[in-house]
Amino acid sequence: MKIAITGGTGFLGKELTRLFHTNGHIVYILTRSPKESTPNTKYVQWLTEGAAPERQLEGIDAIVNLAGSSINDGRWSEQQKREIYNSRMEATEEVLRIIGKLIHKPQTLINASAIGIYPASETATYTETSSETGTDFLARTVVDWEKLADHAKVHGVRVAYGRFGILLGKNAGALPLMALPYKLFVGGTVGSGQQWVSWVHVTDAARAIQFALQTKELEGAFNVTAPQPQRMKEFGKEIGHALHRPHLIPVPGIALKLALGDKSRLVLTGQRALPTVLEQHGFKFNFPDLPSALADIYK
């Protein structure tokens, strides 16, 4: 297959590119700063003045849209919130424009999304059939993101959006920051410890995207989370166990709110989201439980 990826130079994008190469696919990476292309990786300029990526993308089979400003960088100012929101809308609008320009439309658009669309809860369990949506900044962003991506359907393109949980990997994503206190021997329960952490190993996240591309019956939302979410207290204990460090020193929620402001919701609240659609279609996780995921990451 010929597959275009936006956000292909990011944490998940790099893992996905490696997976696609392993399976013999040709990858077109849409980027503002193209590098020299290789036989199986084509770099395509986009979102810059004069760029016309559609000229190089005729004949692609699918698009994976992962582009958007990171939610993990720094304290959220109002300006950064606008960047988080606008970067996702701008990239998705450009993807739709490209699809509209192509003579031969791609079969599938896999658009990134997030389980942050669901309301934070310590008691609820969410699947893709859950109709509840949150009212905070991230939830509103995700709702608008999915609605915009759905516009590709007017071109006859199958649209699926992966609602990602917390991606786990050794050198990127949320885990290095979460593991740092344990490496310094000051790890402990964050906030109440009862908030849910719906996580997924980055390898399984990439495999889930490839699975969605190959499964033509899969449309709409699919949760990209491991089938065994953990409460924050147990999640922290597992990190400590994997690193052979104690789980002793609690981090009060008020301290995180003062340090991170609205961004503190990322760690002080959570959702218990299950990958029902993936499992119903036969997807098997390589790392279904946290101990096996952390053992692989820190092997």
What's 185's domain CATH number?
3.40.50.720
pTM of the model: 0.94
pLDDT for position 242: 95
- DSSP 8-class letter at 119: P
What proportion of the chain, given as a percentage, has pLDDT over 90?
A: 78
Half-sphere exposure of 204 (CA within 13 A, CB side): 29
- Predicted local distance difference test score (pLDDT) of residue 173: 82
Q: How confident is the model at residue 258 (pLDDT cuts 50, 70, 90)?
A: low
pLDDT tens, residue by residue, 176-186 = 888 888 888 88
> How does strand 272-273 pair with strand 199-201?
unpaired
**pLDDT attached to residue 253:** 75
Whether the pLDDT of residue 264 is over 80: the answer is no
pLDDT computed for residue 165 by the predictor: 96
Q: How many folded domains does the chain comprise?
A: 1
- Whether the pLDDT of residue 269 is over 90: the answer is no
Least confident interval from 24-28, 60-64, 189-193, 285-289: 189-193
pLDDT at residue 65 above 80? yes
**Measured between alpha carbons, how far is 210 from 160 in angstroms, rounded to an integer?**
12
> Residue 124's domain spans which residues?
2-297
pLDDT score, position 278: 98
Lowest mean pLDDT among 7-11, 58-62, 106-110, 208-212: 7-11
**Hey, what are 291's tokens?**
């101990």
pLDDT at 268 over 90: no
Name the 3-class secondary structure at 172.
coil
Question: Which residues have a Cβ under 8 Å from the Cβ of 7 and sit 6 or more positions away?
Answer: 13, 65, 66, 67, 68, 91, 112
Q: What is the pLDDT, as a whole number, of residue 114?
A: 96
d(CA 220, CA 225): 16
- pLDDT for res 191: 85
Residue 72 has pLDDT above 80, yes or no: no
- Compute the half-sphere exposure of residue 281: CA atoms within 13 Å on the CB side of its CA: 17
Q: For residue range 151-166, list pLDDT tens digits in order.
A: 999 999 999 999 999 9
On the question of pLDDT at 6 being above 70, the answer is yes
Mean pLDDT of 54-67: 97
Q: Is the pLDDT of residue 74 over 70?
A: no
Quote the pLDDT of residue 140: 95
Instruction: Assign 189 a pLDDT band (cuts: 50, 70, 90).
Output: confident
What mean pLDDT value characterizes the chain?
93
Encode pLDDT of 201-237 as tens digits: 999 999 999 999 999 999 999 999 999 999 999 999 9
Q: Coil, helix or strand for 272? A: strand
Look at 1-5, 14-18, 78-82 and tell me which has the smallest mean pLDDT: 78-82
pLDDT in tens, 79-89: 889 999 999 99
The larger pLDDT score, comparing residue 268 to residue 217, is at: 217
